[in-house]
A and B are shown apart, each in its own frame.
Chain A
Amino acid sequence: MSEQLKVPTMAEFMAEGKKPEVLFWVGCAGSFDDRAKKITKAFVNLLSKANVEFAVLGTEESCTGDPAKRAGNEFLFQMQAVTNIEVLNAYEVTKIVTTCPHCFNTLKNEYPELGGNYEVLHHTQFLKSLLNDGRLTIEGGQFKGKRITFHDPCYLGRANNVYEAPRDLIKKLDAELVEMKSCKSRGLCCGAGGAQMFKEPEKGNQDINVERTEQALVTKPEIIAAGCPFCNTMMTDGIKAKEKEASVQVMDIAELIANAEDL
């Protein structure tokens, strides 16, 4: 990226005695994973383009505790949650947007009981609202007429019943949205959830991400759209396993829109 991104922190806002419109919760993958960082940047570009006053926690952000909780370590999860809630409440955060469905689910559903009450949105929901309010416009651009299939992240779809926001955004690109046989509430997991991302799978006859990639390839897509950094990794690996890197790309919705806008 030629020019440096403008990414203010909550601390900077506070120093000026101001509060941002929304806190962008970047998440661990979005902060450290090379592939996911691109999604983070694409989303920041979109926020800037729509003139959204946003801030990140930066070095004050820490894991939400999701993988620890799903692995069974409730203790570690709650330690993370309570610490994060102290930070968020100290900054009087009211609205959070995140590009990770796991962070989204945990912040939205599991933090309130522990004292963290925020309006939490997945980035596809937030982008959709920007679009509805006329703050962001999407031109089809390079994706016009392309075959795109959307892989539902479990923690966005089944877990929280968000199926339409990502699809509405894809349609705005004038792309041809093709559905897999198992989609929406019956979407097959990419294999990363429940802390599986961090371990080798148990013995079986197939890896879940390859199975899911095969389902996606049936739709003959040019692009597999994802809404989760972990799904993105799993599907990208699946595409590699099927040796389809040359013809099929795995992209986050935020990247699709940012690319369409030449951001």
Chain B
Amino acid sequence: MDYIKIAQIIAFTIALICGVGFFIGNVKKLMRNIKLGHDVDVSDNKSERWRNMTMIALGQSKMVKRPIAGFLHIVVYVGFIIINIEVLEIIIDGLFGTHRIFSSIGSLYGVLIGSFEILAVLVLVSVIVFWIRRNIIKIKRFWKSEMTAWPKNDANYILYFEMVLMTLFLVMNATDIPFQNMDSGNVISQFIAPWFSSLPESTLHIIERSAWWLHILGILVFLNYLYYSKHLHILLAFPNTYYGSVKPKGQFNNLEAVTNEVKMMMDPNVDPFAAPPEGAENVAPAKFGASDVQDLNWVQLLNAYTCTECGRCTSECPANLTGKKLSPRKIMMDTRDRLEEVGKNIDANNGEFKDDGKQLLDDYISREELWACTSCNACVEACPVSIDPLSIILDMRRYLVMEQSAAPVELNNMMTNIENNGAPWPYNQMDRLNWKNE
């Protein structure tokens, strides 16, 4: 083996280890941040959860509710998964200094590469259409107020990444002389090869090698870009659809801490003067509802990392449609941004969160947004990856009402009425059957 080859193998191995190692580090940080949320039991309904994941994430069942975007997305998604078989070959070639190791399987190889090439073109076209939808047609949901500079750039960077990767794959095949000579599987690249035909063989080889290297390095960079990007959904959509709610959408959770209090109040045998159990004085009472990310549960935090900011939720939200400040997508983006901030705070303070005087409520999500929600579940229904913005809105309302008594005054009237006369309006409970005689 010549030295150049050995040097290449070493360089490749180092790149692979760095790329994968850095990614593992990010995944660990991601998991630590998600676990900042409190625990929630999701061990129920296993078969239904698997079915949800299979249908919604793997089968893209909710994506196709919007046929154009859904179809294009399936092309990119299928392309992404299938072309990854090619990445496997690249990795083996890189580690062992071989060239197109799978080509030894014979004619099937041509079929495989041929389908990859077709998919690569389809992905390229789809991604270009996506870019046009965002930047030329300017579809409304991509231009809402929460889509500030970074979310917009992030979306475009992802599209550019995919365009470049697909182009590199096709160029790599087109400039691979032995592969072109095989004349099997070069269904697309045979039409690109003539563009390079005037170049000497050695230059072609350099282009082929460069494309090969840039392709795999690009993939490793992209892998590590995920953690910083909305694109995390390509991984998290799977756990998120698994852990997503399996209850009817109208069913909001009953707070257990409240149930205990209420049961105690209703129990005539309870001793109101009973001393608290040993050691209980030191335990801070649980907070009702959520004012910061640590008060949410870990599935809600996983939701925030899974959100890819497509804005289907916001485009179906009755409050947003009628010009109110509330945008369910912003609720998810804010939750993630705050969670990231808390995570960085923990990193900077040796694993301990140091109070930074900020919280999710008010510093990120305003009360005006929270009170504009009609709890209609349109956002939950619209989400293609089972994110539940409504549960976060509700938990934050709970904090406002039960910890701060900060409900809008009309709602306080409504609640006082329920408390006093069992109806949201000031009518006497004894008059409840009067309609019979009217």
Q: Which A residues have a C-beta under 8 Å from some C-beta of B?
A: 4-5, 7, 9, 26, 28, 30-32, 37, 40-41, 56, 58-59, 61-63, 65, 67-76, 78-80, 82-83, 86, 105, 108-110, 113-114, 154-155, 158-161, 185-186, 188-189, 191-208, 211-212
CB distance from A252 to the nearest CB of B (A): 15
For residue B260, which residue of chain A has the nearest CB?
A78
Cβ contact within 8 Å between A205 and B323: yes
User: Would you call B376 an interface residue if the criterion is a C-beta within 8 Å of the partner chain's C-beta atoms?
Assistant: yes
Alpha-carbon separation in the docked complex, A178 to B371 (Å): 33
Cβ contact within 8 Å between B401 and A202: no
Contacts of A199 in B (CB 8 A): 371, 408, 410-411, 414
Cβ contact within 8 Å between B259 and A114: yes
7 interchain pairs, CB-CB under 8 A:
A59-B429, A59-B433, A83-B266, A114-B254, A161-B248, A189-B378, A203-B368
The 8 closest A-B pairs by CB, nearest first: A159-B250, A72-B397, A194-B375, A205-B323, A62-B422, A189-B376, A204-B323, A109-B251
Contacts of A71 in B (CB 8 A): 397, 401, 407, 411, 414-415
Contact pick for A67, options B249, B380, B424, B431, CB 8 Å: B424
For residue A78, which residue of chain B has the nearest CB?
B262
Cβ contact within 8 Å between A109 and B247: yes
CB distance from B143 to the nearest CB of A (A): 16
Contact pick for B251, options A61, A70, A110, A114, CB 8 Å: A110
CB distance from B45 to the nearest CB of A (A): 15
CB distance from A211 to the nearest CB of B (A): 5
Alpha-carbon separation in the docked complex, A25 to B402 (Å): 28
Say whether, besides A32-B423, A69-B252, A75-B402, A159 and B377 are in contact (CB < 8 Å).
yes
Cβ contact within 8 Å between B435 and A73: no
Alpha-carbon separation in the docked complex, A202 to B370 (Å): 10
Contacts of B397 in A (CB 8 A): 71-72
Cβ contact within 8 Å between A75 and B250: no
Alpha-carbon separation in the docked complex, A190 to B15 (Å): 56
Contact pick for A68, options B322, B371, B415, B433, CB 8 Å: B415
Which of B398, B402, B413, B414 has the largest number of chain A CB atoms within 10 A?
Answer: B414
Contact pick for A198, options B318, B373, B413, CB 8 Å: B413
Say whether, besides A74-B288, A159-B250, A194-B376, A200 and B414 are in contact (CB < 8 Å).
no
Cβ contact within 8 Å between B324 and A72: no
CB distance from A22 to the nearest CB of B (A): 17
Cβ contact within 8 Å between B423 and A28: yes
Contacts of B419 in A (CB 8 A): 76, 79
B: number of interface residues (CB 8 Å): 70
Alpha-carbon separation in the docked complex, A131 to B408 (Å): 44
User: Would you call B217 an interface residue if the criterion is a C-beta within 8 Å of the partner chain's C-beta atoms?
Assistant: no
Cβ contact within 8 Å between B394 and A72: yes
For residue B65, which residue of chain A has the nearest CB?
A186
Contacts of A5 in B (CB 8 A): 436
For residue A62, which residue of chain B has the nearest CB?
B422
Alpha-carbon separation in the docked complex, A202 to B423 (Å): 24
Which of B251, B266, B431 has the largest number of chain A CB atoms within 10 A?
Answer: B251
Given A71-B415, A73-B398, A110-B254, list of 17 further CB < 8 A pairs? A31-B434, A32-B431, A32-B432, A40-B435, A59-B431, A73-B402, A74-B288, A75-B261, A75-B288, A80-B418, A105-B248, A108-B248, A113-B259, A158-B377, A159-B248, A159-B251, A202-B325
CB distance from A215 to the nearest CB of B (A): 10
For residue B418, which residue of chain A has the nearest CB?
A63
Cβ contact within 8 Å between A74 and B254: yes
Contact pick for A192, options B263, B368, B374, B437, CB 8 Å: B374
Cβ contact within 8 Å between A78 and B410: no
For residue A40, which residue of chain B has the nearest CB?
B435
Contacts of B381 in A (CB 8 A): 158, 185-186
Cβ contact within 8 Å between A202 and B415: no
Cβ contact within 8 Å between B254 and A113: yes
Say whether, besides A73-B407, A195-B414, A28 and B262 are in contact (CB < 8 Å).
no
Cβ contact within 8 Å between B435 and A41: yes
Contacts of A195 in B (CB 8 A): 375, 411, 414
CB distance from B245 to the nearest CB of A (A): 12
Cβ contact within 8 Å between B435 and A31: yes
Say whether, besides A114-B254, A159-B377, A200-B410, A188 and B324 are in contact (CB < 8 Å).
no
Cβ contact within 8 Å between B325 and A194: no
Say whether, besides A7-B436, A69-B252, A211 and B318 are in contact (CB < 8 Å).
yes
Interface residues of B in 370-404 (CB under 8 A from A): 371-378, 380-382, 394, 396-402
Interface residues of B in 251-287 (CB under 8 A from A): 251-252, 254-255, 258-259, 261-263, 265-266
Alpha-carbon separation in the docked complex, A197 to B375 (Å): 12
Cβ contact within 8 Å between B374 and A28: no
User: Would you call B299 an interface residue if the criterion is a C-beta within 8 Å of the partner chain's C-beta atoms?
Assistant: no
Say whether, besides A31-B423, A73-B407, A78-B259, A204 and B400 are in contact (CB < 8 Å).
no
Alpha-carbon separation in the docked complex, A71 to B402 (Å): 10
Cβ contact within 8 Å between A207 and B322: yes
Contacts of B252 in A (CB 8 A): 69-70, 110
CB distance from A206 to the nearest CB of B (A): 4
Contacts of B44 in A (CB 8 A): none
For residue B410, which residue of chain A has the nearest CB?
A199
Say whether, besides A28-B425, A31-B435, A159 and B374 are in contact (CB < 8 Å).
no
User: Would you call B57 an interface residue if the criterion is a C-beta within 8 Å of the partner chain's C-beta atoms?
Assistant: no
Contacts of B68 in A (CB 8 A): none
CB distance from A84 to the nearest CB of B (A): 9
Contact pick for B262, options A4, A79, A186, CB 8 Å: A79
User: Would you call B326 an interface residue if the criterion is a C-beta within 8 Å of the partner chain's C-beta atoms?
Assistant: yes
Which of B254, B261, B397, B427 has the largest number of chain A CB atoms within 10 A?
Answer: B254
Cβ contact within 8 Å between A191 and B318: yes
CB distance from A91 to the nearest CB of B (A): 16
Alpha-carbon separation in the docked complex, A200 to B373 (Å): 12
User: Would you call B438 an interface residue if the criterion is a C-beta within 8 Å of the partner chain's C-beta atoms?
Assistant: yes
CB distance from A98 to the nearest CB of B (A): 13
Alpha-carbon separation in the docked complex, A37 to B425 (Å): 15
Cβ contact within 8 Å between B375 and A193: yes
Cβ contact within 8 Å between B410 and A82: no
User: Would you call B185 an interface residue if the criterion is a C-beta within 8 Å of the partner chain's C-beta atoms?
Assistant: no
Contacts of A72 in B (CB 8 A): 289, 394, 396-402, 407
Cβ contact within 8 Å between B415 and A186: no
Contacts of B321 in A (CB 8 A): 188, 206, 208, 211
For residue A113, which residue of chain B has the nearest CB?
B254
